[in-house]
Amino acid sequence: MLNTLKNNILLLLVTGLSWSSYAQIQRMEPPYWYTGMNNTKLQIVFYGSNIAQNEVSAPAAVPILAVTKTENPNYLFVTIDTKDLLPQELVFSFSKNKKKHFTTKYELKKRRENSALRESYSAADMMYLVMPDRFANGNPQNDNEKSMTEKTNTKVENGRHGGDLEGIIQHLDYIQELGATTVWCTPLCVNNNARGSYHGYGQSDVYQIDPRFGTNADYLRLSNELHKKDMKLVMDYVTNHWGAQHWMIKDLPTYNWIHQFPGYAQTNYRMTTQFDPNASKIDARLCADGWFVQSMPDLNQSNELVLNYLTQNAIWWIESANLDGFRVDTYSYNDKRAIAKWTKAITNEYPNFNIVGEVWMQDQAQMAYWQKDSKIAAIQNYNSYLPSVMDFTFMDATAKVFDENEASWNNGLIKLYENFANDFLYPNPNNLLTFVENHDTQRFNEIYKKDFKKYAMAMSVLATVRGIPQLYYGSEIGMAGDKSKGDGAIRQDFPGGWQGDTNNAFTKEGRTVEQQQFFDFSSKLFRWRKTNEAVHFGKTTHYLPIDNVYVYFRYTTEKTVMVIVNNNLISKKIKTDRFAENILNYTTGKEVLTEIVVPLKNEITIEPQTALLFELQK
């Protein structure tokens, strides 16, 4: 009873409700808003028992554009125009039978200066992917919350382990030392599922940080601390589904707020049906409208109320947490016309804001379909307006090529070459997110059994090809994990993040010899990358691999970087006259990691299973 009273008091403080209105209004979303937005229309959701029986009014200076009632009497969707309004508290009045029933306050806040023109992540950045529950437990006091069903138990591989926002904040120096400039956290909002809640993708409240991770204020603090270090924060946003425990799922505003068949139907996961001209309607529907899993009801973005709710929620987080970008989960499972509207609404509000969508496909043309201004999608009169997609074909290639020591027509480093040969399909290949693994895939160091040479070759390529490199936490210290044993195996605790850990890989003194070897290499490589604009936005010329040796150049008018990858088990001598069109009048190359200077006149010797990165000099 006491806890309920405390929660009620907290609700009143957050929303500005009076005691008289509490009986009627249990939720108000967005909980507050901002003045000076490009889109001045704001739709406020008022939720409470039979609240739709009331009529609502606002101050005379605040035009109410629409009041939408649904078949569920517990909801009122009130749309107002915020144009020319100053920061203030608005008072909404609710009347029943022409008599004022209660009032409630709603706050309009002032936006940050130049908020609309905020910069975002780009190819000049390196993104570090963190699974917060498995990174570091900075505040053991929040491990368990009475309001949350699942409790922390580090012995359960797929359970909650206690990592939190404080743990990330405490180790920002480590992330920066690694050379990362941007942090992407898997979802942090409340996930009150009974099992597997640690990953965050089954959200039950999209306006609150899960208390086991911290608070909304902690999330803003993470953003602020990153910005102090000239680093960026990317939110993992989920538009396709919520968790079954979401408060709206438990009391649907409308029957078609989620996709129903009626009730549950499983997606077929066949994303090609979204553009296949020969696809059956039922197959296309099951892909887009079927539920990802039974515990995650599929949101109906074609419902304007749903789409507007998701759009405002995304913008609210950008403003309230001062975000620098989004990664959008399962982007291509959404209603494709509606998700394009969502994406365009956000980029209209923030013209420089980068959004990368998860489009997990194994064909470049099919992935390119989803990038903004795709000529392929234009054939079907479609534009996703999505600035970036994840380069899964690059990941697929890197998972195989470094075990293919003897090249053939289709095997060996030719797979990397062919991946980039298809860049003509993308409207903006420089804005692809490149990676060798993430939180859903087999770990790279598991595939190659912690073979440092193969790791070094892969990271050298990742750091120097076009796109935005992303590193998954722990790769830089050799972390492995076999996905066939379950997702927990690829999402292990970072050593040193928990009290009592005997191995603390966050510090040089605490790392093993193997961990230090991986970290030293990764840190030197990615810190160098921060300084070289040729590998950020330079052009690319690559040469057909010969005898399993791949050579390519990244260059601007001022700088040129030459990369040589030898995937053989023996050393090779590379004659340089073949590369004259890129070497031009450069005479020497300074190797980035060893700082050895070599002449470019005749030939370069490269050791087996090695990558060399040369900054060319005259």
Annotated catalytic residue: which of 166, 349, 358, 615? Answer: 358
Q: Are residues 91 and 145 in the same domain?
A: no
Q: Are residues 457 and 568 in the same domain?
A: no
Q: Are residues 353 and 366 in the same domain?
A: yes
Please calculate the CA angle 444-166-195 and round it to the nearest 5 degrees: 65
CA-CA distances (angstroms) from residue 146 to 90, 182, 203?
34, 33, 18
Cα–Cα distance, 17 to 10 (Å, whole number): 10
Q: Are residues 418 and 478 in the same domain?
A: yes
Mean pLDDT lowest among 17-31, 83-97, 297-311, 422-436: 17-31
- For residue 94, the number of C-alpha atoms closer than 13 Å in the C-beta half-sphere is 25
Residue 17: band (very low, low, confident or very high) from pLDDT cuts 50, 70, 90: very low
Look at residue 97 in the predicted model and tell me its pLDDT.
87
The residue segments making up the domain with residue 84 are: 2-110
| Closest residue by Cα to residue 437 from 485, 481, 493 | 481
Asked, for residue 222, whether it belongs to a domain, the answer is yes
Element of type H or E holding 601: none
Q: Are residues 517 and 541 in the same domain?
A: no
Look at residue 23 in the predicted model and tell me its pLDDT.
54
Sign of CA dihedral 262, 268, 269, 271: negative
Whether 182 has a pLDDT exceeding 80, the answer reads yes
Look at residue 475 in the predicted model and tell me its pLDDT.
98
CB–CB of 296/290 below 8 Å? no
Residue 100: band (very low, low, confident or very high) from pLDDT cuts 50, 70, 90: confident
Residue 419: band (very low, low, confident or very high) from pLDDT cuts 50, 70, 90: very high
Q: What's the whole-number mean pLDDT along residues 496-518?
A: 98
Residue 22: band (very low, low, confident or very high) from pLDDT cuts 50, 70, 90: very low
Whether 8 has a pLDDT exceeding 50, the answer reads no
Asked, for residue 423, whether it belongs to a domain, the answer is yes
Q: What's the whole-number mean pLDDT along residues 194-217?
A: 97
Whether 1 has a pLDDT exceeding 90, the answer reads no
Whether 344 has a pLDDT exceeding 70, the answer reads yes
Whether 14 has a pLDDT exceeding 60, the answer reads no
Q: Are residues 501 and 597 in the same domain?
A: no
- Which of 485, 516, 531 is the last residue in one of the domains? 531
Residue-wise pLDDT for 40-99, tens only, equals 999 999 999 999 999 999 999 999 999 999 999 999 999 999 999 999 999 999 999 889
Residue 359: band (very low, low, confident or very high) from pLDDT cuts 50, 70, 90: very high
Look at residue 15 in the predicted model and tell me its pLDDT.
47
Whether 9 has a pLDDT exceeding 50, the answer reads no
**CATH number reported for the structural domain that contains residue 415 in this entry:** 3.20.20.80
Asked, for residue 115, whether it belongs to a domain, the answer is no
Q: Are strands 588-591 and 597-599 parallel, antiparallel or unpaired?
A: antiparallel
Q: Are residues 539 and 521 in the same domain?
A: no
Look at residue 6 in the predicted model and tell me its pLDDT.
47
Q: Are residues 132 and 147 in the same domain?
A: yes
CB–CB of 228/319 below 8 Å? no
Q: Quick check: bond before 262 cis, omega within 30?
A: yes
Q: Are residues 41 and 129 in the same domain?
A: no
Q: How many domains does the chain have?
A: 3
Residue-wise pLDDT for 230-289, tens only, equals 999 999 999 999 999 999 999 999 999 999 999 999 999 999 999 999 999 999 999 999
Residue 157: band (very low, low, confident or very high) from pLDDT cuts 50, 70, 90: very high
Q: Are residues 66 and 136 in the same domain?
A: no
Q: Are residues 386 and 291 in the same domain?
A: yes
Sign of CA dihedral 27, 294, 216, 385: negative
- Which of 531, 546, 576 is the last residue in one of the domains? 531
Cα–Cα distance, 363 to 195 (Å, whole number): 34
Residue-wise pLDDT for 438-491, tens only, equals 999 999 999 999 999 999 999 999 999 999 999 999 999 999 999 999 999 999
- Which of 110, 133, 154 is the last residue in one of the domains? 110
Asked, for residue 201, whether it belongs to a domain, the answer is yes
**CATH number reported for the structural domain that contains residue 19 in this entry:** 2.60.40.10
Residue-wise pLDDT for 391-401, tens only, equals 999 999 999 99
Look at residue 245 in the predicted model and tell me its pLDDT.
97
Annotated catalytic residue: which of 329, 446, 476, 615? Answer: 329
Element of type H or E holding 235: strand 232-238
Look at residue 118 in the predicted model and tell me its pLDDT.
98
Look at residue 24 in the predicted model and tell me its pLDDT.
82
Asked, for residue 304, whether it belongs to a domain, the answer is yes
358 in catalytic set: yes
CB–CB of 364/416 below 8 Å? no
**Considering the entire predicted model, what is its pTM?**
0.95
- For residue 559, the number of C-alpha atoms closer than 13 Å in the C-beta half-sphere is 14
Phi, psi at 320, each rounded to 5°: -75, -30
Asked, for residue 163, whether it belongs to a domain, the answer is yes
Q: Are residues 520 and 568 in the same domain?
A: no
Asked, for residue 184, whether it belongs to a domain, the answer is yes
Instruction: Please report, rounded to a whole number, the percentage of residues in the chain having pLDDT higher than 70.
Output: 96
329 in catalytic set: yes
